[in-house]
């Protein structure tokens, strides 16, 4: 169907085949299939409230076996579109095919899972249909007065919830988070309706692949499942989870080392995700993933209700927190009052020693995944592939369109590679480029954090006086602050204590509401957890010795 001849995207209410509720079926994995079934349970309730039909939409190839997976899901009709071009997901082709189906059948509601596919596909489809989309919903209901879909979404770090409706445009579209706690639980009315439908097979409708859909502009090179994806959390027997109290990205990486030794999966809380210590796909919480492992280890987590609601099914919970009054201890079977930054390294050392003593082998031999998941640099990865494929430095650099000196710098980690270089390297070494690109994303994230810090501190220069002590409790710096006319006051706040000694010039330090003016030879000691500002009030550069203590 051409763009010019397609029917009106938003016909008047009452026209078309009825107030149907559609669910896009994601069957790429068992986890996504299970999530689709859960979404169908809620959609069944919505369809009953509207006195409409529940439709399951499947696109792909050989869909009949997949349809059997939804036999007891209360589906009234299953709409299947089969074609070789739909065998692998492509957002352009899928969006065009689904738009054709929507414009032909005009559903009232169209729901997608809020996963990688749904978050990419649903917005593109909504734009084609000129309708609205509510993203990452954790609750769905029908307003009894207006009959509109009420879509509940979290806001302000899950502190409040907002109810959103689409009053005019159709279909009403939403992406829905799976594992979002009780807000998605199917009410008794919907469950009963679903039970009645368990004995009925859905009516199967088939739709031809639309003519005129242009070929994909993006060529699929391949796909490789990430063994460490968030889906593994839901099946893991042991999970290690870290929160804000872990302290830093480097310390959070030590949780991965511990997990490798234990054969566990790694997860994080919302603050850890916001700090870019871990991917959002691995966030545990009411708006993240729910887990039910045999053993759940929690480090530096306060225990907000949004988090504990997602770990209720864990069999044995061990929590570590410095605050003896932390709420997380109420959900724990064993609570340890202590600093995770000290306890995790000790657990790693003892686990390594136990593995050697008990099995007589190294941790890598006992758990091969520990070796496979070691943090190999991107440059080392490229060098290993080059040598494995028996390419010399000059031969490889010529194929990669750069000088041997540049390639050598990339392999040593001195020069960050571009995306185009990584794609050329993937072709040359015959590997999936995702291996390179995902690692490059980690490097860029680290660089962004460093650049962000330097931007905030653009009027300061720092020189550490304790090199190699990044993870130690005591660190010292020589700090130079620009003159008054070039200087912006910056707020700092961190755990522990701070000592400032003025070597040259003068500095104004505001600690909370107290203002201190220091000249050469004077010093100040204060609680660094209180917000504090430093400003150079003189016409010359100021030099300070700053000593930080973190517990």
**pLDDT tens-digit series, residues 410-424:** 888 777 777 677 777
pLDDT for the residue numbered 414: 75
Band (pLDDT 50/70/90 cuts) for residue 407 is confident
- Which of helix, strand or coil describes residue 79? strand
pLDDT for the residue numbered 492: 66
Residue 475 near residue 464, CB atoms below 8 Å? yes
Judged against a pLDDT cut of 90, whether residue 22 lies above it is answered with: yes
Residue 242 near residue 252, CB atoms below 8 Å? yes
pLDDT in tens, 137-165: 888 888 888 889 998 887 765 567 888 89
Band (pLDDT 50/70/90 cuts) for residue 174 is very high
Distance CA 267, CA 245 (A): 14
**Lowest mean pLDDT: which of 21-25, 301-305, 383-387, 491-495?**
491-495
pLDDT for the residue numbered 401: 81
Q: Give the mean model confidence (pLDDT) for residues 182-200.
A: 43
Band (pLDDT 50/70/90 cuts) for residue 34 is confident
Q: What percent of the chain has pLDDT over 70?
A: 76
Q: What percent of the chain has pLDDT over 90?
A: 11
Q: Give the mean model confidence (pLDDT) for residues 328-351.
A: 87
Judged against a pLDDT cut of 50, whether residue 400 lies above it is answered with: yes
More confident residue, 495 or 499: 499
Band (pLDDT 50/70/90 cuts) for residue 391 is confident
pLDDT in tens, 502-529: 998 888 888 888 888 999 999 999 888 8
Q: Give the mean model confidence (pLDDT) for residues 369-394.
A: 69
Tokens of 133: 């989309």
pLDDT for the residue numbered 273: 84
Residue 336 near residue 319, CB atoms below 8 Å? yes
Q: Give the mean model confidence (pLDDT) for residues 339-360.
A: 77
- Length of the chain, in residues: 551
Judged against a pLDDT cut of 80, whether residue 124 lies above it is answered with: yes
Among 365, 393, 244, 238, residue whose Cα is nearest residue 307: 244
Judged against a pLDDT cut of 50, whether residue 373 lies above it is answered with: no
Please give the mean pLDDT across all residues of the chain. Answer: 77
Q: Give the mean model confidence (pLDDT) for residues 407-436.
A: 76
- Which of helix, strand or coil describes residue 312? coil
Q: For CA atoms 481, 483, 485, 486, give the dihedral sign.
A: negative
pLDDT in tens, 52-76: 899 998 988 888 778 877 877 788 8
Strands, DSSP E only, in 8-84? Answer: 21-24, 54-60, 77-82
pTM: 0.50
Among 240, 320, 321, 307, residue whose Cα is nearest residue 271: 307
Alpha-helical runs (H) found in 286-433: 305-308, 340-359, 363-366, 368-372, 378-388, 393-399, 404-411, 419-429
Judged against a pLDDT cut of 90, whether residue 298 lies above it is answered with: yes
More confident residue, 211 or 220: 211
pLDDT for the residue numbered 439: 57
């Amino acid at each position: 169907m051409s763009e010019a001849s397609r029917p009106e995207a938003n016909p008047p209410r009452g026209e078309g085949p009825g107030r149907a509720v559609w669910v896009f079926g994601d069957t790429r994995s068992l986890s996504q299939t299970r999530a689709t079934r859960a979404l169908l349970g809620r959609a069944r309730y919505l369809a009953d409230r509207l006195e409409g039909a529940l439709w399951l939409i499947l696109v792909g190839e050989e869909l009949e076996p997949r349809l059997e997976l939804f036999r007891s899901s209360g589906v009234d009709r299953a709409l299947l579109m089969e074609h070789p071009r739909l065998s692998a997901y492509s957002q352009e082709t899928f969006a065009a095919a689904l738009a054709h189906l929507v414009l032909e059948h005009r559903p009232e509601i169209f729901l997608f899972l809020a996963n990688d596919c749904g978050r990419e596909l649903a917005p593109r489809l909504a734009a084609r249909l000129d309708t609205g989309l509510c993203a990452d919903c954790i609750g769905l209901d029908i307003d009894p007065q207006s009959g509109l879909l009420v879509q509940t979404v979290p806001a302000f770090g899950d502190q409040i919830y907002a109810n959103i409706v689409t009053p005019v445009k159709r279909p009403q579209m939403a992406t829905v988070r799976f594992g979002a706690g009780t807000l998605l639980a199917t009410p008794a009315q919907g469950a009963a309706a679903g039970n009645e439908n368990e004995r009925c097979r859905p009516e199967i409708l088939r739709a031809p692949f639309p003519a005129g859909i242009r070929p994909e502009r993006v060529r699929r090179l391949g796909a490789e499942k990430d063994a460490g994806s968030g889906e593994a959390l839901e099946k893991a027997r042991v999970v290690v989870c870290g929160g804000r109290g872990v302290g830093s990205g480097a310390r959070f990486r030590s949780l991965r080392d511990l997990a490798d030794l234990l054969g566990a999966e790694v997860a994080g809380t919302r603050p850890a995700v916001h700090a870019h210590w871990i991917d959002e796909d691995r966030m545990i919480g009411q708006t993240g993933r729910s887990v039910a492992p045999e053993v759940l280890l929690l480090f530096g987590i306060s225990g907000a209700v949004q988090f504990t609601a997602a770990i209720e099914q864990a069999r044995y919970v061990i929590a570590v927190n410095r605050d003896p009054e932390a709420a997380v201890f109420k959900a724990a079977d064993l609570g340890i009052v202590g600093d995770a930054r000290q306890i995790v390294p000790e657990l790693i050392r003892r686990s390594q020693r136990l593995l050697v003593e008990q099995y007589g082998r190294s941790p890598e031999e006992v758990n091969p995944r520990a070796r496979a998941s070691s943090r190999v640099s991107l440059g080392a990865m490229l060098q290993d592939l080059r040598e494995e494929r028996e390419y010399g430095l000059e031969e490889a650099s010529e194929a990669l369109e750069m000088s041997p000196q540049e390639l050598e710098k990339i392999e040593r980690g001195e020069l960050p590679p571009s995306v185009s270089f990584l794609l050329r390297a993937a072709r040359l070494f015959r590997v999936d480029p995702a291996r390179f690109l995902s690692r490059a994303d980690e490097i860029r994230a680290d660089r962004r954090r460093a650049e962000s810090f330097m931007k905030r501190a653009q009027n300061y220069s720092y020189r550490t006086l304790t090199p190699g002590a990044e993870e130690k409790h005591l660190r010292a710096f020589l700090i130079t602050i620009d003159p008054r006319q070039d200087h912006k006051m910056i707020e700092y706040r961190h755990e522990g204590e701070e000592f400032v000694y003025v070597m040259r010039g003068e500095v104004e330090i505001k600690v909370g509401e107290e203002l201190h003016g220091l000249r050469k030879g004077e010093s100040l000691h204060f609680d660094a957890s209180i917000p504090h500002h430093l400003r150079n009030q003189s016409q010359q550069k100021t030099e300070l010795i700053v000593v930080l203590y973190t517990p």
